[in-house]
Amino acid sequence: IWCSWYSYFTSVTEADMVENIEAIDRLDLPVDVVQLDDGYQQAHGDWLTLSDRFESLEGIVGRIRATGRRAGIWLAPFLVFPDSDLVARHPEWLLRGPGGDPVVAGHNWGRDCLVLDVTHPGAAEWLVAVCETIVGMGFDFFKLDFLFAGALVGRRHEEMSGLRAYREGMELLRRSI
């Protein structure tokens, strides 16, 4: 069970998660994994910066694990929002098109979604650190979404095909998760 993708639009809160965790436990539902889905983060790409509706991912993990269940989290590791802090700090980490503009992986959540170029050493190091931090919090189930973005065609820090970049990105995720 999880707070689904609609959470981004319905403003899921930490209180909602706590209420659901308590109900699952009280009703002794046969649920092995309780997953926090999209909506906990400030923006796509700012995975460790919480929206104002959440106080602590560690607190959520603790509540889930206290019931004997596994804690899961949603992550779109190759997507970033144009207005994210990540893009503001590191625009050089984006996949670029032939004219130099960021490649758009699609339009969702009411905005364009840009692509993290994991062939850039800084972006790769950052992604590994994000995943290792989340694992360190106690999450042991990852719903990785929108992975196709890692294979899109574009100008990367290291010249390579989209497929090779995707494979390298997946290897980063395997090692860090």
- Taking CA atoms, 109 is separated from 17, 52, 126, in Å, by 21, 18, 24
- Strand-by-strand arrangement of the 70-75 sheet: 2-3, 33-36, 70-75, 141-144
> Considering the entire predicted model, what is its pTM?
0.91
Give the dihedral sign, CA 114/119/123/125.
Answer: positive
42 SS3 class? coil
Instruction: Enumerate the β-bridge partners of residue 156.
Output: none
How do residues 129-168 score in pLDDT, each as one tens digit? Answer: 999 999 999 999 999 999 999 999 999 999 999 999 999 9
Dump the DSSP string for 89-116.
Answer: H-GGGB-B-TTSPBPEEEEETTEEEEEB
**Better pLDDT: 10 or 156:** 156
Q: Select from 111, 92, 106 the least CA-distant residue to 152.
A: 106
What stretches of the chain show up as alpha helix (H) in DSSP?
7-10, 14-26, 57-66, 85-89, 121-137, 162-176
80 SS3 class? strand
Structure confidence at residue 12 (pLDDT) = 82
For 35, the token pair is 């997953």
How do residues 50-87 score in pLDDT, each as one tens digit? Answer: 999 999 999 999 999 999 999 999 999 999 999 999 99
